[in-house]
Amino acid sequence: MRKIIQIIYSLVLVVFAVSLISLFSPRESSAQLVCSTTHIKEAEGEIGLDFDFVASFDNGFSFEIVITTGTPSESFQTMETSLTYMELDTPGWELVDLSCDSNDGVTVTFVEEGVNIVCDDTGGEVTCVWTNVRKTRNVPTLSEWGMIAAAAGLMLVGVFFAVRQRLRASEQSDVQG
């Protein structure tokens, strides 16, 4: 009877040890999703100009990255299911186009100033091209400068006639008085 109890205890210990080992052992990588993203920055002939981005995972973790014009960003591989890239404001530049090419394992959704990339069950790759142009300032054209000069001239003529009228009125009051 003692041998049977020892065998049962041994089996329980083996099962317990196997369950502990499986609990703390790393999962198979084939069960996790792997998506690769590549981002290319284009900006009006500028090469080597840095643009700041923020990337956020669906678990709330986010980090800032810098993408330089003229060279694609390094591919980023994730085990997460969703990743959002958003371009931060760069003084003097504005985002005018964002296009992404992806295979069947990735779903791309465009959001304001960025893109949301969802890795499907099979995983996949996506390449996004971000295009910026310089912001233009409104500088008055020659015709606008002419209108400004004409308005200033009319204002001076009006002031001249108002002063002249006042002088005439004061001269008449002196003559009458």
Whole domain around residue 111: which residue ranges? 32-134
Q: Judge whether 82 and 116 are in contact, CB under 8 Å.
A: yes
pLDDT band at 27 (very low <50, low <70, confident <90, very high): very low
Q: What's the pTM value of the predicted model, to 2 decimals?
A: 0.56
Domains in the chain, number = 1
Distance CA 18, CA 16 (A): 6
Domain contains 161: no
Domain contains 80: yes
pLDDT digits (tens, 9 = 90+) for 102-111: 888 888 989 9
Q: Which helix (H) or strand (E) holds 115?
A: strand 114-119
Q: Judge whether 50 and 92 are in contact, CB under 8 Å.
A: no
**At 116, which CATH number?**
2.60.40
Q: Given this model, what pLDDT does residue 28 score?
A: 46
Q: Judge whether 67 and 50 are in contact, CB under 8 Å.
A: yes
- Nearest 5°: CA angle at 175, between 171 and 176? 120
Task: Give the whole-number percent of the chain exceeding pLDDT 70.
Answer: 81
Distance CA 42, CA 49 (A): 9
Domain contains 120: yes
Domain contains 129: yes
Q: Given this model, what pLDDT does residue 100 score?
A: 92
Computed over every residue of the chain, the mean pLDDT equals 79
- Quote the tokens at residue 36: 């690769």
Domain contains 10: no
Domain contains 162: no
pLDDT band at 29 (very low <50, low <70, confident <90, very high): very low
pLDDT digits (tens, 9 = 90+) for 133-158: 988 877 767 678 888 888 898 999 99
* pLDDT higher than threshold 90 for residue 98: yes
Cα diameter, the chain:
143
Domain contains 38: yes
154 CB-contact burial (10 Å; exposed 0-12 / middle 13-18 / buried 19+)? exposed
Domain contains 151: no
Looking at residue 122, the DSSP 8-state letter turns out to be T
